[in-house]
Amino acid sequence: MATSLANRQSALLESQILNIIWNMHYRPLTILSVFILSLSLFVACSSNTTGPSEEEQQEEPLQLPTASFSVEGDMFTGGEIQFNNSSKDADSYTWEFGDGTTANESNPTKSYTEYGKVTVTLTAKNEDGEDSISKTITVEPKTMFIKKIEIVDMPFTNENGEGWDTNSAPDVFINLLNDVGGKHTMGSTYTDLGKSDLPAYWEYQSPGLEIGRVDFDTNFIFSIIDEDEFTANEFIESVPTDYFTIRKQWLSETPETAEVKSDEGTIRLTLEWE
């Protein structure tokens, strides 16, 4: 009986001692652990609810457009020219055609009323910015007019040293020939044309002798002829010595005056282009 009581008292004392140790050492640690865990959860929740992370807050790179285009079609006055837009990452466009006109279409068409070189600029835009590209194109004329033709020089004797007419100076006219048999007489006959009469000229009524674009690649040559009333006409000189084309001879320059020459002949032309 006395032993049992002693055991109970000893166990009670041991329990009280352990409780004192727990309250002094482990319980503060537990409270601290719970506090740290709660603080971590609060920070995590706050981070998720206040906005994106630092990486998410970085701005996305700008997606700027790239302007690009090509040109095709009838590259002459009055012709329909197609502008093909190949720009990337753009949603609006501005075209400047070099003649004071503009457009906002993606793939516009355009006709020019005047020939020459023009600079076309395309500006491609989106919400991040814009990009521009320029190209120079050449608009060719579709018609050449011969307004005036002059014989500046020509031979007055044949290969034998004889004059073209026995008793007078030659009666001269000019033919414009092509290499497939076409012929156009350039005005009336100039009667008794002597050296002192040079330059001899023929003028055409407005707008002039018309040569259309379809003949710009035709082979031409001028032929100076002595007209004889009672005998066959005599060939005097071909000017130039070989055929020429309007495209190769003049189209790139579109001159207002031009000359063609042979060994002994020179013909001057006054031209107009449209």
- Whether residue 124 has pLDDT greater than 50: yes
Q: Report H helices in the chain.
A: 2-21, 27-50, 54-57, 246
- Whether residue 255 has pLDDT greater than 50: yes
pLDDT band at 102 (very low <50, low <70, confident <90, very high): very high
Q: What local confidence, expressed as pLDDT, does residue 232 receive?
A: 93
* Fold that domain 143-273 belongs to in CATH: Immunoglobulin-like (2.60.40)
Q: What local confidence, expressed as pLDDT, does residue 52 receive?
A: 54
pLDDT digits (tens, 9 = 90+) for 185-197: 998 999 999 999 9
pLDDT digits (tens, 9 = 90+) for 169-220: 999 999 999 999 999 999 899 999 999 999 999 999 999 999 999 999 999 9
- Whether residue 4 has pLDDT greater than 70: no
Query: Residue 83 in 3-state DSSP?
Result: strand
CB-neighbour burial class of residue 247 (10 A; exposed 0-12, middle 13-18, buried 19+): middle
Pick the more confident residue, 245 or 51: 245
Q: What angle do CA 101, 104, 109 make, to 5 degrees?
A: 65
The CATH number given to 69-139 is 2.60.40.10
220-226 and 257-261 strand pairing: unpaired
Distances (CA, A) of 28 to 14, 19, 20, 95: 21, 13, 12, 78
